[in-house]
Homo-oligomer: A and B are copies of this chain.
Amino acid sequence: MALKLQVNTERLVRELEHLASYSDTPPPAITRILFTKPDLEARAYLKELFQEAGLKVREDPLGNLFARWEGHAPELPAVGTGSHIDAIPYAGMYDGTVGVLGGLEAIRALQQAGFKPHRSIELLVFTAEEPTRFGIGCLGSRALSGALSPEALRALKDSEGNSLEEVRQKAGYTGPLEEVRLPENHYAAFVELHIEQGPVLEQEGVPLGVVTAIAAPASLRVVLEGEGGHAGTVLMPDRKDALCAAAEIILGVEAFARGSGSINTVATTGFCEVHPNAINSVPSRVRLEIDVRDVEQSRRDQVVRNILQGVEQVCTRRNIRYSVEIINMDPPAKSASEVLRALVEACGEASVRFKLMVSRAYHDALFMARIAPTAMLFIPCRGGISHRPDEYASPEDIARGVQVLALTLAKLSQAEEKGPPKDEPLTLND
């Protein structure tokens, strides 16, 4: 079967731009936080597009959105693709969205080419891949895969004290959270298209990355409690300044990552909140949130241990009370060989050069890998820049990714029932 696929690049770019208009910050800065007005409006827009494409739309009680193209054998496990549309404050317009609208365009290209799927193809929009509102990333895919229980979901509160329960119900998602988790055999395969969010593809001039493993982050929340007071009258030796302790910890986080022995270790204090945050008041309390990643789990875990030890040392020396909460510390995921094989073959059919590579960003695919054979497809982004308003992927690169995604989905949807798993070794180019 030789598929003649026509990706409508113009329409796809137009839709990406329209999706970007749902934002809480003026363009080009995109801010789209879970269950805010822009998020709900963007969801409505997508549902309309999905329905126009003849897909059957379903939403689960957490807001995960499924658009299904029914196959000839709807009783067989389906083939999934998709990504997320939420965006951290002042982010760009390609992170996640390319995998959602690109997934839709892949389906439309297959439809237009007269392709008829054997297994159903499902396009997913995951709820809250970004941790902005509830402090934990991949909320939707964690719940779908069972990595986050309904009890844990019910315990979540945002920084304003609203529980996820209130927030989702106000947004119209009222069903029992027990219905969110997917059975393990729901998908025969899952593949996520995403911008690289790193500089490798652009630097090496390779148009596609086939992801063999995802480096998962550990996230820590550190609360420091010192003693406040008047900035003029509390003498220096009497101070228990929570911000000075925080400053030492921030520099420690940086130093531990730099000193890990590998360029692949990154650690970031991305969040710092000071109380009472007034120029003439000694800071009494600081909350830090720290992200540590590595493709090598043991090395990452060593950095986390160094940070925990560093926090203890700084706080003991400075007489600061503290608490550390490990928000998550997920293992990395390895891609499934059958999905990789489909991707590699699709690249061949489309005559697109590719690179086997590792993802250092978090993705919903990390959790989908727990319940389905999973892999990812990366397209280059300018300067490796992401999570910023100037994030950019070219229409050509996006279209190339969509074409390979479509061919891959076609292959996977025609695949027979799986035999026993073959243990073929994968070489990671870490």
Which residues does A use to contact B, with CB under 8 Å? 88-91, 130-132, 135, 137, 196-199, 215, 217, 219, 228-238, 241, 243-244, 246-248, 250-251, 254, 257-258, 263-284, 289-291, 293, 359-362, 384-388
CA–CA, A257 and B278, complex, Å: 19
Which B residues are in CB contact (< 8 Å) with A248? 247, 251
Which B residues are in CB contact (< 8 Å) with A278? 88-89, 130-132, 270-271, 387
Instruction: Identify the closest chain B residue to A198 (Cβ).
Output: B233
Q: Of A135, A359, A385, which is in contact with the most chain B CB atoms at under 10 Å from its CB?
A: A385
Instruction: Identify the closest chain B residue to A361 (Cβ).
Output: B232
Can you report 8 A-B residue pairs in the complex whose CB atoms are below 8 A from each other?
A88-B276, A228-B388, A229-B388, A236-B266, A247-B247, A268-B281, A268-B282, A272-B274
Which B residues are in CB contact (< 8 Å) with A280? 88, 130-131, 137, 217, 268, 270, 291, 362, 387
CA–CA, A250 and B251, complex, Å: 11
Which B residues are in CB contact (< 8 Å) with A265? 236
Instruction: Identify the closest chain B residue to A278 (Cβ).
Output: B88
CA–CA, A137 and B14, complex, Å: 51
8 nearest CB pairs, A to B: A198-B233, A247-B247, A231-B268, A279-B289, A247-B250, A232-B361, A230-B386, A232-B360
B88 in contact with A270 (CB, 8 Å): no
A270 in contact with B290 (CB, 8 Å): no
Whether A290 touches B279, Cβ cut-off 8 Å, given contacts A263-B235, A384-B233, is: yes
Which B residues are in CB contact (< 8 Å) with A254? 236, 241, 244
CA–CA, A282 and B131, complex, Å: 14
| 8 Å CB contact of A271 from B237, B271, B274, B293 | B274
| 8 Å CB contact of A279 from B215, B277, B291 | B291
